[in-house]
Structure 1
Amino acid sequence: MSRVALLTYSTKARGGVVHTLALAEALADLGVDVHVFALGAEGFFRPLKVPFTLFPVTVASDSLEEKVFASVDAMLAGLAEVAGEFDVLHAQDCISGRAAPQVHARVVRTVHHVDDFTTPALVDCQRRAIVEAGHVLVVSEHWRRVLLQEYGVAARVVRNGVDPARFPPVGARRRASLRESVGAEHRFLLLAVGGIEPRKGSKTLFRALGLLRGERPVLAILGGQSFRDYDRYRREALALLPGLGLDVAQLGTVSEDLLAAWYRSADALVYPSIEEGFGLVPLEAHASDLPVVASDLPVFREFLTHGKDALLPAAGDPVALAAALERIMADEELRATLVAGGRMVVPRFTWAACAAQHAEIYRSIS
């Protein structure tokens, strides 16, 4: 069996990092000798059941370009000392994908999505991090088509998974306490996960909430750790709120236990992304019996069906999103239908199946 190094750019609770840790543990359950390498000074956002090593990185500038290249250099320096101990290096992002081929001949790269970089240096860095890997994977058919059309790279689809055990039911007292903490004792509570940033459609969400008729819901926003600086967008989005009569609680990054409790304490998930690689958050909501309002994105349509297991209003359209939110808030039967539909989706996406596909790929190239 191959000895595999999984590489990720961060220790924070972003989608690619969540994927990396879950995949590592599922691979270990299959008997794969796996070790995780990441950039960071502190441990991961949750306990990890497999060995891991963190490489320190120092960035002297707020420039995205300088942060990316400093991170590539730190990953490269760390891997140079250990790469020879592994049969396969599996990079999960642009940074590790750029570093890994420089120190190892057998590199697998998972492209979760393609960033909208604008400077020539970053565009070239991302391109090389895709085309220089020997074996490229993606998490959706949408991104398989994008890589083929825009990079000439034939990628294999290996989808994400979800672990329902991470989202156990919570007691009535804890649920009531969380709702009370944001003023939602007797009001509809919407949960948004991923922070306030362009990809998550935060401005669309705030505008949609301002269009709602009748009693306004409470919005709780979790997350927000990002490699990129979205401070300007965040300030612009928050500037939309005054005068809308909205109660918005920005809760930031929370522990795994608390994240699961919020999923179980809300009345619906609102996830109006305008771009995603796959969309782990709707799956996590399904695993928590939480009805989902997302966006009509190609990646979501690969596993969600409008009206059956989610509502999928047009991406970037606050009027369409407001209509969907009014429906889900007013119709208890609809919410029950979406929860039941979500329970049918979850078993199709297991980390065990994901890991088995990866193990097969590792064996074929070792």
Structure 2
Amino acid sequence: MTSPQELALVTYSTKPRGGVVHTLSLAEALHRQGVPVHLIALGERDAGFFRPTPVPHTIIPAPRREATLEARVFASLDTLAEGLAELSDRFDILHTQDCISARAAARVRDAGAPVTVVRTVHHVDDFTTPALIDCQRRAIFEPDRVLVVSEYWRELLRTEYDVESHVVANGVDPRRFGPLPAELRSRLRKGIGAENRFLFLAVGGVEPRKGTVHLFRAMSILKDLMDTPPVLAVVGGHSFQDYADYRDAALSALPALGLELGTDVVLLGTVPDSELSAWYRAADALAFPSVKEGWGLAVLEAMSAELPVIASDLPVFKEYLTDRRNALLTPVADAAALARGMRELAESPELRTRLRLGSRPTVSRFTWEASAAQHAEIYQDIRSAGGGARPAGAVRKAG
């Protein structure tokens, strides 16, 4: 009896967070290229993913939400491991996209399932409890192959974890971000009071990693400096982690900053995928002042929608962004510098045009089709090598 030759992409959620978007987009590109692929995720079985997908998939019912992050992580890990154990005889490769799915897949493999566990490390979280720190370390050491989305994270895994990895960049599907009818653009902007005001879009919700407090402070500076201050619309906010304290503190600080929620700062929340595409086209620029990122999918999405980008000068961004050529880059966590850049972007049509034109080669370079082709070569290499045998130089230290 021959072993199965089907790939499963595994993720911890069905919600529109970066890692899940990556998983779904990669699976769809592989599917278009004729690679047998199946999606597996924790979620609500009848609800499916945040957008429809033609890729065959299995939704394992998620456990009830526990009170603490630590309890949520381990409950999800146990539930996903149980579900994967029942499915593992269908697959020879389990490609996992996060700590929870990586550890669950490794548990199934170690119980005797003949599968190779691949892990994409999108970024490393700043956990504080010993149990979660240990869980994250094991999710990096335990997989048979480790992939990363940038050279920055490849070097970090090498120096801090003594783990070798292979870089496969993220991508974008420009077809998802096509032109928007003028009437719909006008209606969206009017709905948040941005008919005659410059509209910055922020994607990812109000959370520490997105640098939201620095963006709010920059908006406060702009309100004092500009005759017609801009509007900031914030999309997203669903997260496995609980950022309620950060969010509440950031929003409660708005009055002291001279900003009014609903007028200067508008929270759009998690929107349908089609509506997110519309907001990219309705806005005037993307403000993405992250203090930490694995890659920054929202940047590529904005570029695909011909939306100028202002972002932090993080090393990972500088791998594909060049200041004043395809994006405006400002120092990390520097609200004053961010405000200066945002003002220049708002007041300079020439700069916005230059950034739009400069973004086009970047968008054409980073596609999901190219990413899928690279992944397919890695899967073939694993199969040619006989499955789970780890490549030379990839022995991991569990300490």
> Is the CA contact (8 Å cut-off) linking 2:286 and 2:307 kept in structure 1?
yes
Which residue identity does 2:243 align to in structure 1?
Y
Task: Tell whether the 8 Å contact from 1:2 to 1:362 is kept in structure 2 after alignment.
Answer: no
Counterpart amino acid of 2:221? L
Aligned to 1:235: 248
**1-structure distance, mates of 2:185, 2:65:** 43
In structure 2, what is the Cα distance between the partners aligned to 1:225 and 1:245?
24
Q: In the TM superposition, what is the alpha-carbon distance from 1:29 to its structure 2 partner?
A: 1.4
1:136 lines up with 2:146 in the alignment = yes
Match of 1:88 in 2: 93
State how 1:220-299 maps to structure 2 within 5 Å. 220-243=233-256, 244-246=258-260, 247-299=264-316
> Aligned equivalents of 2:70 and 2:283: distance in 1?
38
**Alignment partner, residue 99 of structure 1:** 104
Q: Which residue of 1 aligns with 2:232?
A: 219
Number of corresponding residues: 366
1:305 equivalent to 2:322? Answer yes
CA deviation after TM superposition for structure 1 residue 2, in Å: 3.3
Please tell me whether the aligned partners of residues 150 and 316 of structure 2 are also in contact (alpha carbons under 8 angstroms).
yes
Note if 1:344 corresponds to 2:368.
no
SS in 2 for 1:305: coil
Cα deviation code 1:266-297 (max 9, x no counterpart): 11100000000001101000000000001000
Q: Give the counterpart letter for 2:178 in structure 1.
A: P
Q: Distance in 1 between matches of 2:97 and 2:280?
A: 26
Paired residue type of 1:38: A
Q: Does 1:154 align with 2:171?
A: no
Measure, in 2, the Cα distance between the counterparts of 1:307 and 1:12: 33
Pick from 32, 35, 39: which aligns with 2:35? Answer: 32
Amino acid at match of 2:137: R
2:336 to 319, 324, 327: 319
The gaps in structure 2 that reach 5 residues or longer are: 110-114, 384-399
Does residue 8 in structure 1 map to residue 21 in structure 2? Answer: no
Q: Quick one: which of 178, 193, 198 aligns to 2:203?
A: 193
1:216-239 deviation digits (Å, cap 9, x = unpaired): 101111000100000000011112
Instruction: Give distance in 1, aligned partners of 2:308 and 2:170.
Output: 20
Deviation per residue, 1:128-148 (Å, 9 max, x gap): 111110000000000001101
Give the structure-2-normalised TM-score: 0.90
Gaps of 5+ in 1: none
Distance in structure 1 (CA, Å) of the matches to 2:212 and 2:168: 29
- What's the offset of the Cα at 1:103? 1.4
Q: Secondary structure at the match of 1:81?
A: helix
Structure 2 distance, partners of 1:59, 1:142, is 36
Shift of 1:60: 5.3
| Corresponding residue of 1:79 | 84
Equivalents in 2 of 1:206, 1:358: separation in Å?
39
Do 2:197 and 2:230's aligned partners in 1 also have CA atoms closer than 8 Å? yes
Report the Cα offset of residue 57 of structure 1: 2.2
* Aligned residues with identical type, % of pairs: 58
CA contact (8 A) 2:40 2:59 kept: yes
Partner Cα separation in structure 2 for residue 62 and residue 229 of structure 1: 10
- After superposition, the CA RMSD in angstroms is 1.0
**SS of residue in 2 equivalent to 1:298:** coil
Task: Report the structure number with the largest CA radius of gyration.
Answer: 2
CA distance in 2, matches of 1:61, 1:168: 40
List per-residue Cα deviations over 1:43-63 (Å, max 9, x = no partner). Answer: 111011111111112235220
| Distance of 1:351 and 1:269 partners within structure 2 | 21
Structure 1 runs (4+) greater than 6 angstroms displaced: none
